[in-house]
Structure 1
């Protein structure tokens, strides 16, 4: 096997690229980590070429040992880039040096594939919301008909291969979750199953591309979802904790329980169905009586009546589940009956398990030691709201430590991993202890950040096995000359942003900056309300074309913004990450305020209190770190190619005046910094000219 640096050189040359010091440094570090079994966190800025830097050593390891390497991403866009562009070209480029062509595959959850049993059985899902009008139901019916016809044309059954796409409601009619699946031994269509075929192909691959949700499902499932492997590479690792948390979150509502009861249909006695629906209605009344539709309410204890209502739900759901009987009854297989039993059983089991989880969530009197956070929220549908009880893990660090880091060598990479000057903040959320870091050139937090305390896993104590986990951090740098290419402008003179409408001085500042830049502005706002308000005002006060998120599909808006070099694009969270607009269409990124999480966010508030209970600084460990990551992601939208130039303007004076401002700035690239308005306006005008 040639050295990794030699393979990287071969790949770069074959793909028409140029040698990059950061890419070589990262590839060498990844290869070293794989050889030693030491976990690695790598920050690789835009333009480093991190995909090649981890794919080349991953392929080398897989080909040398015959073991599979898992690559996990957070977004579909990166999955497609890897599978449709990077890996095919790389496999061909490395074939002469390796002696054979590396094999790769993509692995998705079962819900991404058509289920032949469900289609042929003709099982129909009831709509989860009774308020759907006739038009929506008719559209769903047309889409389902098209999906049934597509079965005879598709070779993959993969939803991503369907053009044009369909709504989630329609897709649900022809797919099943992993828990709803009958299993290969019980299904009449197992030999032709699209999901099983994808798993067979993946089992023969050297590199498997999947997503963070599949990692979570594999970690939570008693069965092995992913093929046997010894190396996991996590790209977009800054999103790992949130994605794992999302998969681990469950909910209960009157509507979902009633739907599950109705799914039982003719499978159980009508009296038992009525019992479950009655318990659901009683539970729904409790939720409505103890909640406020305007804000989520975190529960630190079970309110009066909840324990009895949840216990009644638990018992009746389990009684209904047992009454259904086995999925495949004796005799000839009946696809329709088996599919109906599978769907009903899965719904009842999931709701039962959630009720048990909520009942046990308050066993420990110390909130910081509890495993789960419980809160009441409201889902809005049109002009109506529906109360729902949600439960999510206080921390996923223990899960990741036990199911991921204990069994594989893990490489975590992203353009933004350094928070407050070091890797420890994110490492804590992954369950990696600060004291187990290997000696290296990891950037260290400043003293103010250290004062937060080396609190791991949101303040929860590190288990005794932590000293066996070793990891190191590496900042691979970036090919961009940040101080010469961009300015970080902090509008120190502006008033601190309030909760109400955008203040007039902030409006004036935004208008002046846009005028100096000649449009070419990406406005990143902390809320959709703020983005729409700013768009409305700027449309009245300027001649620039203002595109606003929500006016059209985000992808369409980004394309129009790219094509019209004098336009502006305003939006919220999804624009802070993933928008790639190199060239003259983007010269100014405006951030309206520091993106702290909402103070009424139940999960983050609970995590903050857990840190404080352990003697740490909850605000810095949770809220400030959350804001740091988003700021870095937002600022990263400016420089996307080596020739890009421009300004990142933060219209929140707290970044310059508050004690935590320096900590947040340390998470940003090393732009040239100023608080002088005239300097920035002059620079933008020269750039525009």
Structure 2
């Protein structure tokens, strides 16, 4: 029997050592995480800001790792949280637990290979120069300067980690000195293996109790036939509301005429002139077809496109065979630089070939709702030009997660926002988990209803497809077991904040913001004496609102894009009279406690664009099986973002303020109650005079 102290005892030790105080929600969450690890039952935990969720999962995770000798993986969505865990939380927590655990727990960060400098690529000069036809002279000069700085940095850095480089460099420059996992020669074949930054990181990660990584690497590990992460039996997924989007992003591929040109240039020195010209011609054919295609989903291959793709597929494979297998350095082989060049060329050709094959097979089923992938054309802005791109993404990643993640590890999923419409089922479905896991709640909301709207009303969410690329989901007769827990929050939401819905305003349109809506916004900003974070559904709306409010109010208004986001947030926090307007990254990335953020304004319910091809296809797939596609996809997307945006207001227990939604549909539409049930239990009203009066009283409280 284990003599390791209980989780609650270890948590008390850690909290005391770190100078904190006991929090009921944190204890509740830590106990639930420990129970999940002991039973193998997956757990979804919603833990509001201020709960202390990092400690609540780290303590039981470390206890398990030390007690069992097995590694625990912690995956995050953002670099900011990775750094918090590696640079602040774990360095303080490990020594605090050393005594009770009889040794100090160990930890490391693990990133994808492309995040590190490649010594072979740098020293053997295998970095290719960008094609001069594709990039202007200024960009070429900038890339050259940055690559030279990176070469010099090789002698100074101990990690070779891109995140440790200040100031940073462009993606184009970084690609000149790094390789992907598939381009790498491998430790057994590279002269620099002993000093390789990526290999050092992997060796360190293989010997620690806790590995911190990101959702993208977790996805690559799940999809790869070879293991990237060390052997583990517990995975903690923080920022779990981002998991599906990050997995989808890693699973999305694209081809374009410009991309094929780059492939041909990259492989040109290893191919004969005829093969290179043939590849370039295929790229021109592709570009001609895509440039004439509207930016929308393809439900079938357009006339002649199958022949274009088949020709491109064959030419890519011909080029691949002409290069032949990589001859590794050593007896009978080539040099490090020739092997690396061949490896990079083969990887590029094979990846592009595989994407084309995937595109050709995407329409095998006559029913779009039963297909594994979604295909669409996008017209991307690149500088002053527009580039036509053909993209392919999985209809769902639930099957991949069920087969490759939940089937092999106990998984803890946590975030401040996981319940949609009052329960966990909507997100669970996108993860590939069955609906209606056992749920425990931290208690009632105490919220006031909005003029006859019942915020506790639940609406059925329907099903979500759980197919994934190349994966067969486990049989539904033995679904994964999981439970959900709302750990609560230290905030007294009804007393600390008001949710104001401007019911009297006209429904938002697609054109300019209505004058009456701008008047409402200006009145709120004036009442709050600035101190406003404006969250908008588009950059066009954010810029328009910023320009108009500058004319109507005397408060400084910063707008996303005027400077770096970090700089704008810092200025916003330093001057309480300042307002900050912006779009998506501000909905999720602003943490400004205190009086500088006393009013959060949301311009409209953040439904996805009606022409978003991937979400439209997912909605259609739900409807084909009798579900409610709008609620399952569009409304759930909006509910999650609304909760994230509203969460910007209260960042400490002393914060007070208002979340104002300038979209009357939240109070008048039938789905309004469903969206409201996804928000914190603020005190709710549609009375603008009451809200402006409350903001005025807050503005009179002395700063500091």
TM-score, length of structure 2 as denominator length: 0.95
Name the residue aligned to 2:120.
Answer: 117
Q: What is residue 625 of structure 1 aligned with on the other side?
A: 636
Aligned to 1:103: 106
> In the alignment, which residue of structure 2 is the partner of 1:39?
42
Tell me the equivalent position of 1:580.
Answer: 591
| 2:442–2:488 Cα contact (<8 Å) kept | no
Counterpart position of 2:309: 310
Instruction: Specify whether residues 230 and 128 from structure 1 end up closer, same or farther in structure 2 by C-alpha distance, changes over 3 A only.
Output: farther
- Match of 2:526? 515
Matches within 5 A, 1:445-594: 449-455=458-464, 457=466, 463-465=474-476, 467-594=478-605
Structure 1 position 288, deviation (Å) = 1.4
Does the Cα contact within 8 Å between 1:44 and 1:416 map onto a contact in 2?
A: yes
For the Cα contact (< 8 Å) 1:521–1:569, is it kept in 2? Answer: yes
Match of 1:392 in 2: 393
Note if contact 2:362-2:371 (Cα within 8 Å) is conserved in structure 1: yes
Give the drift of 1:581.
0.2
Q: Check 1:36–1:458 CA distance in 2 against 1; reply closer, same or farther (3 A cut).
A: same
Aligned equivalent of 1:196: 199
Cα deviation code 1:94-142 (max 9, x no counterpart): 0011100000000000011000111012123343784532222111111
TM-superposed deviation, 1:568? 0.2
Shift of 1:169: 1.3
User: How far apart, in 1, do the equivalents of 2:418 and 2:675 lie?
Assistant: 13
2:24 match: 21
Equivalent in the alignment of 2:611: 600
1:45–1:478: 8 Å Cα contact kept in structure 2? yes
CA distance in 2 between partners of 1:459 and 1:75 (Å): 24
SS at match of 1:637: coil
Q: Distance in 2 between matches of 1:466 and 1:505?
A: 55
How far apart are residue 439 of structure 1 and its match?
6.4
Structure 2 match to 1:179: 182
Once residues 493 and 552 of structure 1 are traced to their aligned partners in structure 2, the CA distance between those partners, rounded to angstroms, is 35
Report matched runs for 1:310-459 at 5 Å. 310-328=309-327, 331=332, 333-434=334-435, 437-438=437-438, 440=440, 449-455=458-464, 457=466
CA contact (8 A) 1:423 1:442 kept: no
Show structure 2 runs of 5+ residues with no match: 445-453
| 8 Å CA contact retained: 2:439, 2:484 | no
Q: How many angstroms apart in 1 are the aligned matches of 2:353 and 2:409?
A: 33
Name the counterpart of 1:647. Answer: 658
After superposition, where does 1:57-206 map in structure 2 within 5 Å?
A: 57-127=60-130, 130-206=133-209
Q: Work out which of the residue numbers 249, 254, 279 in structure 2 matches 1:251.
A: 254
Residue 685 of structure 2 is aligned to residue 670 of structure 1 = no
What is the distance in 2 between the residues matched to 1:438 and 1:663?
Answer: 20
Question: Contact (CA 8 Å) 1:40, 1:473: kept in 2 or not?
Answer: yes
Where structure 1 has 5 or more consecutive residues not aligned to the other structure, the ranges are none
Change (3 A) 1:235 1:130: farther
Three-state SS of the structure 2 residue aligned to 1:565 is coil
The alpha-carbon distance between structure 1 residues 69 and 466, as it changes in their structure 2 partners (threshold 3 A), is: farther
Q: Distance in 2 between matches of 1:272 and 1:344?
A: 14
Partner in structure 2 of residue 281 of structure 1: 284
Deviations 1:609-629, CA, capped at 9 Å, x for gaps: 000000001000000000000
Matched position secondary structure for 2:589: coil
Moved more, 75-84 or 187-196: 187-196
CA distance in 2, matches of 1:236, 1:493: 35
1:234 aligned residue (224, 232, 237): 237
Select which of 4, 8, 12 maps to 1:5.
8
Aligned Cα root-mean-square deviation (Å): 1.8
Deviation at 1:578, TM superposition (A): 2.0
Contact 1:440–1:473 (CA under 8 A) maintained in structure 2:
yes
Aligned counterpart, 2:449: none
How many residue pairs align between the two structures?
684
SS at match of 2:478: helix
User: 1:156 is paired with a residue of what secondary structure?
Assistant: coil
Q: 2 CA distance for matches of 1:102 and 1:455? A: 40
